[in-house]
Amino acid sequence: MDPFLRKLGIKTPNKKGQIVPPGHILMAERLRGMPIAQLLAAVSSVTLSQELNSCGIDFCPDGGTAVIYFSQESLPHWEEQKEKILKLRKAYPVRGIIIADRLPSIQVHYSRLQQLVVGDLSMELIPVLDCSEVPLILTSLRDEDGSHNQFVPKSPRRDVSQHIRALCQIPKLGEKKAQLLINKFGSISSIGSASFEELSKVVGTQPANSIIEFFS
């Protein structure tokens, strides 16, 4: 085994497939040696995957979830990132998650990403300050619902639709109000283009403000 991997406690998958032991996080082999790999190995057991290299996915915290992380350096490369997101959406329509750096200096790039991920594709987008926050998010996803079993793909959380989960990322907007918005406007794109007056009639003024700010 690579001495670097042994030092970090990272295992490589056997030749028979990509089955990961319970409690592990699958990580693309291309990330080996990068700071995020060391940070992740400090909080979780990690198994490397060559297969993830070819499909553009960075992490699989469980059998039914795939994650891509965009750093502040990678966000400006829009066409490349867009292609990765669309491939992820096709491969993991239920649980594909994007984690991305969100800083004032790259807000224009983050806003474009947010519109595609949340507004157009109804996927989950989790903002972070930098890669040091990513491992804790991944372990939280791995441990969600108290399950470490990667042999059984997960169903959507609490049977909440993809649109509702995406909308619940907006501050001050819970599942009930998100459902009201979907019932009224039909799609996240329509919600994002609705006026403050239209939104406030459905969910009230504070949530309406949050929606306007989120999609601005």
φ and ψ at residue 148, rounded to 5 degrees: -115, 10
Q: What pLDDT score was predicted for residue 74?
A: 93
As for how many domains the chain has, the answer is: 2
Confidence of residue 62 (pLDDT cuts 50, 70, 90): confident
Q: What pLDDT score was predicted for residue 162?
A: 62
Q: Is the pLDDT of residue 79 over 70?
A: yes
Q: What pLDDT score was predicted for residue 52?
A: 87
For the segment 86-92, the average pLDDT, to the nearest whole number, is: 86
For the segment 122-136, the average pLDDT, to the nearest whole number, is: 88
Q: Do the beta carbons of residue 49 and residue 18 sit within 8 Å? A: yes
Which of 106, 121, 155 represents a domain boundary (last residue)?
155
| pLDDT tens readout for residues 147-160 | 444 444 444 443 44
Q: Give the SS3 label for residue 107.
A: helix
Q: Which amino acid is at 93?
A: P
Q: Say whether both 142 and 165 belong to one domain.
A: no
Indicate the pTM of the whole model.
0.68
Q: Say whether both 114 and 166 belong to one domain.
A: no
Question: How far is Cα 203 from Cα 184, in angstroms, rounded to an integer?
Answer: 11
Q: What pLDDT score was predicted for residue 20?
A: 57
| pLDDT tens readout for residues 180-214 | 888 888 777 788 888 999 999 999 999 999 888 88
The CATH number of whichever domain residue 179 belongs to comes to: 1.10.150.20
Task: Return the beta strands (E) in the chain as ranges.
Answer: 10-11, 24-28, 45-49, 59-62, 65-70, 96-101, 124-128
Q: Say whether both 160 and 112 belong to one domain.
A: no
Q: Say whether both 49 and 149 belong to one domain.
A: yes
Q: Say whether both 44 and 131 belong to one domain.
A: yes
Question: Of 21-35, 49-63, 105-119, 141-155, which range is least confident?
Answer: 141-155
Q: Say whether both 86 and 123 belong to one domain.
A: yes
66 CB-near residues (< 8 Å, 6+ apart): 57, 59, 60, 88, 91, 92, 95, 96, 97
Of 97, 154, 91, nearest in space to 123 by CA: 97
More confident residue, 140 or 151: 140
Which residue, chain included where needed, has tokens 């004032």? 104
Segments forming the whole domain that contains residue 53: 3-155
Q: Say whether both 135 and 43 belong to one domain.
A: yes
Q: Say whether both 141 and 161 belong to one domain.
A: no
The CATH number of whichever domain residue 134 belongs to comes to: 3.40.50.10130
Q: Say whether both 38 and 118 belong to one domain.
A: yes
Question: Of 45-49, 113-117, 189-193, 199-203, which range is least confident?
Answer: 189-193
How buried is 170 (Cβ within 10 angstroms: 0-12 exposed, 13-18 middle, 19+ buried)? buried
Q: Say whether both 48 and 25 belong to one domain.
A: yes
Q: Say whether both 97 and 176 belong to one domain.
A: no
